[in-house]
Amino acid sequence: MSFKKTYPYSNIEMLPGDILYSTIGRSTYYVGHTVIVGSDYTMKEAIPGKPSGHTLTAEQFWHRHHPGDQITLLRSKSGANEAAKWATDHLHLVKEYTVLNHNIESIEKNYCSKLIVQAYYYGANVKLTNYLNRFISPQFLKRTKRLEKIAVFLKA
């Protein structure tokens, strides 16, 4: 029997490598935020604080949001399982949160959307952007045609 997990308060299946984009608002300090679902079905993220590489459950992620917040589920057509495994295996290397380090090779100094681009690039050889060594905003991941928009959840 295969293991199926769904997103909180939905019947949509959670898949390793899924990317969740949180809308710009109070809960994301007005910049937007992205997490990737790891191979263990937990959310992997780079956030301010120690440790910067952080894991949380789907329920914890969900309850961090405020009523009215939107969470967009994005899915890659290829490389998702490999990206999820890379994110899961390398998250502990993320030591410092900074949006100022644009070097794609630097895992230690990181931020949310860069971590996801790295996971796909290094884990699955999938480029979510042609411009790897520049700031990659969470909104870029939401808008790129390289990811398919599967659902939008509205936090009640």
Q: Are 20 and 37 in contact (CB under 8 A)?
A: yes
pTM of the model: 0.94
Burial per residue of 26-43, b for 16 or more beta-carbon CB atoms within 10 angstroms, e otherwise: ebbeeebbbbbbbbebbb
pLDDT digits (tens, 9 = 90+) for 18-31: 999 998 665 555 56
Task: Name the percent of the chain lying above pLDDT 90.
Answer: 81
